[in-house]
Structure 1
């Protein structure tokens, strides 16, 4: 199937959304369990932990979070925080004080003033019109509130955009004024279907029938993601195996014995690695054992990796080569691990 499609469905009674492009699954959203990334909460500051460079935050329902590099906070103080990622059971949730109130067209940014239009919108006339719309919609707002208009605004109706801005502004103002009281969940994280509507932009079609995931091929591809082996071009393979400490990735050339087999397999793996990590919900430290290739070709792999991860929404940091010839990187844990979610 050519074109882009969002398939909305359920697996095991829980909502799932799949973004398909030319028949291949490009992104996956799963209904979260518990407090998930994007949730905004009122928390209570605990005692600082100097060795860890942060402070634990008391959250509702006995949960705890960890805030790095806090400034000017005192034990017992009420603060607003947002969950930035997922973690293993029993560990504190990663938090930030830089809140984002995000919807389809607008992102309201407390303590980050300014009115901005997505850089993806390059038409000067469209940018000027959207800037004027943003200025009008934010008239009278607290000067500390900022606004970002997202790229999908370019094809949207002005009234829709204005309504979206008004809703996000009202939500932000209400939450920012709600500092009194015990730890509480103030804004829940988006569900799978809401996240797809909010973040995946305009597509050619949306399918929400009972068998949408199966009809577009997403169900089979999701099932394949439970296996560690990824087939690459030319018969090469990539094994992706999470351990407690790191994600181990091993690239093999397969039956190809040509002199350039190692480089070809490694380039194919580097291009697909961000998508595979994203779909599988894997993050943390990643150690890649690329197929054998000359050291002089490593810069080629670095260029491919940089380009691939720049296009990925997850925050990644490419550390480089180890003395043993492996490549190290880290990726933010920003979603549930698919294999555990399906268990």
Structure 2
């Protein structure tokens, strides 16, 4: 699927790594490890994510000086210090804004944003949704631990109803964001989710995000052992098979112990049913490349009377012209067709003199 804007401008979408200088020198994870001491709380899920990113970057085969990580404010936002690439520790919620400027002006960079549920979805909510809508060529890694960790345990925009925290001693009355539904509603071209404890699944998602051209949104469910310990235990322990749905493009959506559960389409929506009760041909085969927004939105909100299901893997991966490609093309066309005359602009018909 190529966006209408791209068709009008005659642009052809490229791969996420196209135009970025490559290296012929073999790289290892240690080549992307800075000399800074990693300082997160013991047991924090951020350690696993950092290790996964460090092991992924050598696979991309691009020069370290052509990679930049931009972060906002929060525990996750210390990320750029621990990578031997370029990095920007920016201001609260505004990392996508700085990253947009880099993506537009420096097409030779692989741009990454590291943010948290508080940083991205509270003060940074406006910046996040418009970056997704514009489809700027960057990767956004949202670390979701359902709590404010850096400021010592206040509820966040993803904390569950009734959550007791230092700022909600009687329980939160805020309805939390469904982050995946939010990203899909903003027309993100790449939407995925992973668990910090599933390193292989996390790397698989990150690998695809790195190669996607456009805004790749990856939510990573991670534990805060100090202020929200065990927030995702239901997805890790014995109960996990009944709650966790792993998506793979082109494969039937089945899950549970011995794959006894499946996803089927009923009417205009999706439902979870027992496989023994349905015809095999009714089981939904996951299509990450579909341009059907209703299907992927329904996947992000699977639930029944008793359970809420969590999908992990790549939910959506489609192609649309990126904002930065379109902006650079527009500037190039203007330079070809219009003479730059600053004086004529200043003294033109759109100016007047106040006496």
TM bin (shorter chain) = under 0.3
TM-score (norm 1): 0.23
TM-score (norm 2): 0.23
More helix by share: 2
More strand by share: 1
